[in-house]
Amino acid sequence: MTKKQRYEAILNYFRKEMPEVQTELEFGSIFQLLVAVVLSAQCTDKRINQVTPALFRQYPDAQAMAKAEVDEVLEYIKSVSYPNAKAAHLVEMARMLVERHEGEVPSDMNQLLDLPGVGRKTANVIQSVAFGKSTMAVDTHVFRVSHRLGLVAKKDDTPYKVEQELVKNIPAEDIPRAHHWLLLHGRYVCTSRKPHCERCDLKAICPSASHSASHSANRHAGRHAASHAAIPSSSHDENCSLP
């Protein structure tokens, strides 16, 4: 299978199975989306959706959050990963938005990257979800799934390299959805520690499927041979405690 054929087969599958797809983060404005994405770094969307309703009631826009002190914001986000750093970033980000952009979130990549707490992945999410631009945010799920499905090569070993390769091979009109396709596939099917190859409709063309199945079988046999089975850990990207 050529690279072009592989991309076409995978994209056709997602176009059929997930024609309408969107972020699982809950928000009511572009500013709130930006806050939620900043908070979601190394944390689950489920956890973020638990803390943002109260946060957004208190600080619905940049003007309100810009007036807050860091420790006040911290009270609302204590249960997320790296809460102290994120609280500081949010307050500094809100103040910069008010000072430089009249409280509005800019659509320009460089202006987004100037904001405290905003990296390339976050900027790409905002450009795609909020402004409809053909940008590809590469998080841990997109990075992993792109490699496992053979969409990128082993040499594409950084998020930026994966981003460039995906953008080069995916039609511009599909890129905003493709981010969510790969992310959700990684979150629910092609999981980090134990991919669910047995229920993946792409396993017939996935170069990693047979390896994963073999690895799973060997691990299962090893557990039976051991006197005590180890308890599997949760996914590595879920650093937030969930009730």
- Largest Cα separation within the chain, whole Å, is 64
Nearest Cα residue to 147 out of 159, 130, 136: 159
Give me the catalytic one of 86, 121, 156, 203. Answer: 121
Q: How far apart are CA 135 and CA 106, in angstroms?
A: 15
Count Cα atoms within 13 angstroms, Cβ side, for 60: 2
Count Cα atoms within 13 angstroms, Cβ side, for 96: 16
Nearest Cα residue to 133 out of 157, 151, 149, 112: 112
Token look-up 């009249």 returns 102
Residues 41 and 59 sit within 8 Å (Cβ to Cβ): no
Give me the catalytic one of 139, 156, 203, 237. Answer: 139
Q: Is 139 marked active-site?
A: yes
Any idea what DSSP says for residue 174? G
User: If DSSP codes are grouped into helix, strand and coil, which group holds residue 91?
Assistant: helix
Give the residue numbers marked as catalytic.
Answer: 121, 139
